[in-house]
A and B are shown apart, each in its own frame.
Chain A
Amino acid sequence: MNSEAPRKSFRRKLDIANGRIDMSHGSGGRAMADLIAGIFRAEFANDLLDQGNDQASFPTPTGGRMVMTTDGYVVSPLFFPGGDIGSLAVHGTINDVAMSGARPLYLSASFIIEEGFAFADLQRIARSMGDASREAGVPVITGDTKVVERGKADGVFIATAGIGVVPDGLVLSGDRAEPGDIVIVSGSMGDHGVAIMSSRENLEFETEILSDSAALHGLVAVMVAAAGPHLKLMRDPTRGGLAATLNELAHQSKIGFRIDEDAIPVKPQVAAACELLGLDPLFVANEGKLVAVVAPAGADALLAAMRAHRLGADAAIIGKAVADEQRFVQMTTSFGGGRIVDWLSGEQLPRIC
């Protein structure tokens, strides 16, 4: 069966001379990965960037390690069920810091505001950010304000940075998953994306689903304490959803995953909305959930600790890491068959965060 032999996918190089950014380059999928590799990683080239995580971890001159992350928010609409661009910016940035196991310390926020934007809306967003950062105990300590002409932005865009300190001896990184490790998600998948879609112009539908937008560093602290060195890595499945996150981790760790569709928590309302919209909850964004990979010996303690926390009450073991040269994420479907859960090609939901 020579013709059936698997082969390495050809990756077309970026056509720098003639190419342009299109919407797929912001989707969190392969096109974005190619863009980052072809332009940013190539031009910035350094070891810390090459860690390939959502945050970079570095030693400080006075000892110990810190992490730094940065993030941009362009969500549309600005206000959605369960949150707004302000709370989302705080939660998302804290989560990127927290996924390294670090304790988030401080945030920055830059605002790019469109001419004509209402003061009242800006105040509402800033107030929501202030509330979210106070609740999380992670203050916004510096910022920047820019205004662009009408039509050059869409209301307001927010760019943030976050820093945190890593507990001594803790190394969580996307390249640490090994065959046999257990995969846990902290709760139901797809809530944020469906909440955003339900409030989009020309697509409005009635649903009680709220965005799951939340700061996860409290849950992370509990997890680090419960699993200790058994905990290998964490990542928040935002753009591209659980599917994109597992594929990223499979490539970074050079392994495959086997997951069980029946074990993945999805709220019935989210499943129904996805059915209606032709989406797959595995590809829909989350903003208050994480995926953890843990050595089998630590899995039970970790799961119990997560379930005891408000933000991990629906945590579930969904599968395990396996040896796989092809880096496939394979799933046993509820129906009883098998399939790949691949990266999404192209854009499923633009401007989800």
Chain B
Amino acid sequence: MKYVDEYRDGALARGIAATIAAEVLPDRRYAFMEFCGGHTHAISRYGIEDLLPENLRMIHGPGCPVCVLPVGRIDDAIRLAANPAVTLCTYADLMRVPGSHGASLLKAKAAGADIRMIYSSLDAVRIAAAEPGREVVFFAIGFETTTPPTAIALRQAIAKGLTNFSIFCNHVLTPVAMRTILDTNDEPPIAIDGFVGPSHVSSIIGLAPYREFAEAYRKPVVIAGFEPLDVMQAILMLVRQVNEQRAEVENQYIRAVTAAGNVTAQNLCAEIFELRDSFEWRGLGNVAASALKLRDAFAAYDAEQRFAVRTIAAADNPACECPAILRGRKKPADCKLFGTICTPETPTGACMVSSEGACAAHYTYGRFRTHQMQVAS
């Protein structure tokens, strides 16, 4: 595949791997967090960990919107779908996410709820236009990348004069979550030497929101694409910043990301969304000013107001180590539940819920490393 295979070239990868191995200082350890689940997936999918030196560790961050969505919000969606008037439109990866008491949208659908899997936010608008007798609710989720498509869906619904379309908004923000991880009081403090930042988020928000991590926290940030060579190159750039005692926001993904980002999309989102006071993140708890809701001017399209949604917080399994795993304090295999009661079929915690979560990626792609370690010992 032209313009794809080039970024997955094994020979180039070995070249970058050799450079990383040559440049890491043997007497120190490096720990970088890839914030985004897309990067976690790429690292696992291509076996990138095998190409990194022993003293360089990747910490899998909380940047998977499906993973961090709290159980209470899944319960809300299941309750919305249980309303016989409602057609709930959702992306497929939310279907299996467990709510309270083992419920899920998949099971709600099996029990008769009208739940449709869609590929685009605009599909929900199309369904609302085609079925005026149904109350169509779009289950909106994601970081800054998926917020503009939700805004466009709302714009289209308004332009079509639809009165049966609403949005259950769960959009969350990347930089706030990174700050929360760095601000958490852990003893000893979390050792994160730098971040691999998601390029699709920066293609919208640009580079400026990450400056505080370089300037105030002295943590290098490299905005990277999602192909495996992008990730390898970003890791090399982080190693160099650390070695040279620099802390800057660098852009590895110059083929799409500009410093200013997509100003049109930013303006559109600012027009439609505003900050929530607080929002619960699975694994991180309540985080102030970390999520978006529809502005009051669009209240008629806000499913939370239209259907009087009152989220009831639900507790995760107390043995679940997701909060520590998301901050890099622990590894998936350190959790008692990992691979026992918590598997991709029966996920207990945030990190196992989606294939982009740290535990699911380790379970699906990386378990053999654990096995090799045991054989070796």
Contacts and interface: CB of A to CB of B under 8 A. Distances in A.
Interface of A: 1, 3-10, 12, 20-24, 30-31, 202-203, 262, 268, 271-272, 275, 324, 326, 328, 330, 332-340, 342, 345-346
Contact of A340 (B48, B96, B345, B365): B365
Given A6-B371, A31-B345, A339 B46 contact: yes
A339 B49 CA distance: 10
A31 B344 CA distance: 11
Contacts of A340: 364-368
Contact of A335 (B48, B345, B363): B48
A346 B374 contact: no
B118 to A, nearest CB: 8
Given A24-B106, A335-B10, A336-B10, A202 B123 contact: yes
Interface in B13-66: 13-14, 17, 44-51
A23 B106 contact: yes
Contact of B10 (A271, A334, A346): A334
A20 B108 CA distance: 10
A328 B367 CA distance: 9
**A-B CB proximity, top 9 nearest:** A337-B47, A345-B344, A337-B50, A335-B46, A22-B110, A339-B365, A336-B10, A338-B47, A20-B110
B1 A333 contact: no
A253 B48 CA distance: 30
Contacts of B45: 333, 339
24 contacts: A3-B334, A4-B370, A6-B339, A9-B339, A10-B340, A10-B341, A20-B107, A22-B110, A203-B119, A272-B1, A324-B371, A330-B368, A333-B47, A334-B10, A335-B13, A335-B51, A336-B10, A336-B50, A337-B50, A338-B47, A339-B366, A342-B344, A342-B363, A346-B95
A4 B369 CA distance: 9
A20 B113 CA distance: 13
B345 A345 contact: yes
Contact of B4 (A275, A333, A339, A345): A275
A6 B369 CA distance: 10
B235 to A, nearest CB: 13
Given A336-B10, A337-B48, A339-B365, A275 B96 contact: no
A12 B95 CA distance: 19
Contacts of B44: 339
Given A203-B119, A326-B371, A334-B10, 12 more contacts: A1-B377, A4-B333, A4-B370, A6-B371, A7-B339, A20-B111, A22-B107, A328-B368, A336-B17, A336-B47, A338-B50, A340-B366
A338 B44 CA distance: 9
Contacts of A275: 1, 4
A271 B4 CA distance: 10
Contacts of A337: 46-51
Classify the interface of chain B: helix, strand, loop or mixed: helix
Nearest to B355: A345
B107 to A, nearest CB: 6
Contacts of A31: 345
B346 interface: yes
Interface in B74-102: 95-96
Nearest to B104: A22
A194 to B, nearest CB: 14
B106 A7 contact: no
Contacts of A9: 339-340, 343
A21 B343 CA distance: 20
Interface in B319-364: 333-334, 339-341, 343-346, 363-364
B47 A202 contact: no
A4 B49 CA distance: 16
Nearest to A203: B119
Nearest to B118: A202
Contacts of B17: 336
A66 B78 CA distance: 50
Contacts of B14: 336
A10 B344 CA distance: 12
Contacts of A30: 345
A337 B44 CA distance: 9
Contacts of B306: none
B246 interface: no
Interface in B217-266: 228
B8 interface: yes
A339 B366 CA distance: 6
A328 B374 CA distance: 15
Contacts of B51: 335-337
Nearest to A274: B1
Nearest to A346: B96
A4 B374 contact: yes
